[in-house]
Amino acid sequence: MKQPGYLDVQRPVSPSRLKIACSNCNLRELCLPVGLSEGEMQQLDEISHLKRGYARGDYLYRSGDKFQSLYAIHSGSFKTQVLHEDGREQVTGFQMVGEIIGLDAISTEHHTCDAVALEDSEVCELPFDKLEALSREIPSLQRHLHKIMSREIVRDQGIMLLLGSMRAEERLAAFLLNLSQRFAARGLSPTQFQLRMSRREIGSYLGLKLETISRAFSHFQEDGLISVKVRSVEILDLPRLHSFVGK
Amino acid sequence: MKQPGYLDVQRPVSPSRLKIACSNCNLRELCLPVGLSEGEMQQLDEISHLKRGYARGDYLYRSGDKFQSLYAIHSGSFKTQVLHEDGREQVTGFQMVGEIIGLDAISTEHHTCDAVALEDSEVCELPFDKLEALSREIPSLQRHLHKIMSREIVRDQGIMLLLGSMRAEERLAAFLLNLSQRFAARGLSPTQFQLRMSRREIGSYLGLKLETISRAFSHFQEDGLISVKVRSVEILDLPRLHSFVGK
DNA sequence: CGCCGGATTGAAGGTACTCAATCCGTGTGG
DNA sequence: CCACACGGATTGAGTACCTTCAATCCGGCG
């Protein structure tokens, strides 16, 4: 049952991005790795399949689940979080359309974090053993997979830098700029967007409390850097927001 | 799934897993991936070679360098760090014998961090294109390589949890326990060891200032948890140190 | 309408930082 | 051989930033 607004919206996206192809997910442009032939795309499509119907709060997988597949986000968005036995939780990332999640589970063959939908979402499941087999046959796919994993490592390093050496408002500015870039890469506005996550979730991701996030938003607004009303954000002064990070 | 040690920054290295073989580096036992035949080991050895003579402070690679190879540490130890334009630096990891560094560079084909020797060290260079070619032929090597990359992602998630939600002394306790496990995995004492890094480097890694590290060491010593004299550490009460993390 | 969760704002408090003095071990030069 | 300098480490005092606790606001929904 095709819902309006999902599959028919083709979003122009920079073609060089590192995403696994998934044409039955209608994400060919987003996901197309450089240099894959039609036939090879076909093979990739054959091993993957779409899973629909995730609603806000639904788990795509949980920490401890047996690892079977990677997932390419086809629509919507997710957060990943690790839980500590004492109840503390740390959001480790927010993933949006075209991004791959589940890479953490390869090492132990069990997932090490939870993946939770932030809104109505669909994913494209990529069984990992089939993906490995295919990447042995297609070197460009192999390299592509390695790049995706490496890119995740680089991303994590960036978050470590943020958590380890930035003050609260710098962290939030860096976060907003990161969202801005990722929206822009999907052909959406880099300056006007809806946050899909709560203040608490942003705080967890940035190593801060929700009140601190709220205050920082208010302060940015007073300074004329952004306009924010609950979850809708407009960046008014992108250059100044940039210069604010690492000031 | 979640045993004590679950949230440690780096997981213990069980000797039979997750290391690329490197017999000309004398690391066969540590590095041997499960299920590689003698002949396959031979092939791996043929593509790799030893590089000697790194002294404390020497760079194995720098941020921006063209990516050619991964490196398995054969002797000694390294730190990896990312630098921010304003001069801030963040240590992203300390690597010891048998661990693989350079994975960050695959995504952009340029290194995104510096790798600096902490003491006299030797590495085994693994040209990445040859490693990829070999892993297409040897599925168990392919899986092994994927696990190494995934493990790095999991490690980074652990550091994010640490940086995002632990207080200073918890961070240091987690750090010491992590070192302890990794020394134990190498047949060294889990309770008595020499730190190879300065207070400042530990602080950078843990998102704290060097004075805070020093105070936390002193406090642990007053509490009878450890005995510390500059860089030589003895853990006196491992269980209590464990329970201290996530208290 | 009233409830609920999320968000905002205020005030007080605590943790880690900053600045600074001192100590200590190592290496160097008189 | 000792004096001295140097960098790393330790310790103290005052401060800044973020957290904690609390009250209030706001929008959605039964």
Domain annotation for chain A: domains and CATH numbers: 6-161 (2.60.120.10), 166-243 (1.10.10.10)
Bridge-based pairing state of the strands A89-96 and A77-83: antiparallel
Q: What is the pLDDT of residues B147-168, one digit of tens each?
A: 999 999 999 999 999 999 999 9
Provide the mean pLDDT of chain A. 87
Instruction: Determine the distance between B223 (CA) and D2 (C1') in angstroms.
Output: 39
Q: Which residues contact B121 (CB under 8 A, 6 or more apart)?
A: B54, B55, B58, B73, B74, B75, B76, B77, B78
Question: For residue A224, how many C-alpha atoms fall within 13 Å in the half-sphere facing its CB?
Answer: 3
User: Which amino acid appears at position B70 of this protein?
Assistant: L
User: Do A112 and A105 form a contact (C-beta atoms < 8 A)?
Assistant: yes
State whether B157 and A86 contact (CB < 8 Å).
no
CA of A2 to C1' of D17 (A): 50
Q: Is the pLDDT of residue B25 over 80?
A: no
CB pairs under 8 A between A and B: 161
Please tell me if residue A151 touches chain B, with a CB cutoff of 8 Å: yes
Instruction: Quote the CA–CA distance of A195 and A202 in Å, as a whole number.
Output: 10
List of protein residues whose beta carbon is under 7 A from strand C: A 198-200, 210-211, 213-215, 217-218, 228-231; B 167-169, 207-209, 211-212, 230
Kindly report, residue by residue over A117-169, the tens digit of the pLDDT: 999 999 999 999 999 999 999 999 999 999 999 999 999 999 999 999 999 99
**Mutual angle of helices B210-222 and B199-206, in 10-degree steps:** 100
**DSSP conformation letters of A189-236:** -SSEEE--S-HHHHHHHHTS-HHHHHHHHHHHHHTTSEEEETTEEEES
Assess whether pLDDT exceeds 90 at residue A59: yes
Strand D contact with A211 (CB < 7 A): yes
B146·A106 Cβ contact <8 A = yes
Instruction: Note whether A63 contacts B: Cβ–Cβ < 8 A.
Output: yes
- The pLDDT of residue A246: 74
**CA(B188)–C1'(D12) in Å?**
37
Nearest to B164 among A107, A154, A163 (CB): A163
- Overall average pLDDT of the B132-142 stretch: 94
Give the least confident one: A23-37, A57-71, A102-116, A211-225: A23-37
Is there a contact between B106 and A165 if contact means CB atoms under 8 Å apart? no
Mutate to test the interface with B, among A108, A155, A157 (most CBs of B within 10 A): A157
